[in-house]
Amino acid sequence: MADDDIEIGESIEVSEIIDESGEVIGVVVDDVLVVTGEEGSVVEETVDVFDAEGNLVAEEDVVDVYDADGNLVAEAGEIIIQE
């Protein structure tokens, strides 16, 4: 990788939440974004929970920063609950 090269990758996973009768009562969206460069990486993961009507119920956002050797050097997170 050249000194100024940056690689970006994203993965999104969607899972249905189903009640005991098989009805969909919500959805969980797990979105992971990775940005990697010569000096390290930043990983941001956002997990959103939606009810059956599409309203945001809860959200968690975590950002991890790694150095060039893969060591975790910083982490920040926030949980947001919608009412």
Confidence tier at 80 by pLDDT (50, 70, 90): confident
User: Taking residues 58-72, what's their average pLDDT?
Assistant: 96
Whole-angstrom Cα distance, residue 31 to residue 19? 24
What integer pLDDT is reported at residue 2 of this predicted model?
58
Q: What is the pLDDT of residues 2-45, one digit of tens each?
A: 567 999 999 999 999 999 999 999 999 999 999 999 999 999 99
pTM for this entry: 0.82
Contact between 27 and 50 under an 8 Å Cβ cutoff? The reply is: yes
Whole-angstrom Cα distance, residue 71 to residue 1? 19
83: tokens are 């009412």
What integer pLDDT is reported at residue 72 of this predicted model?
96
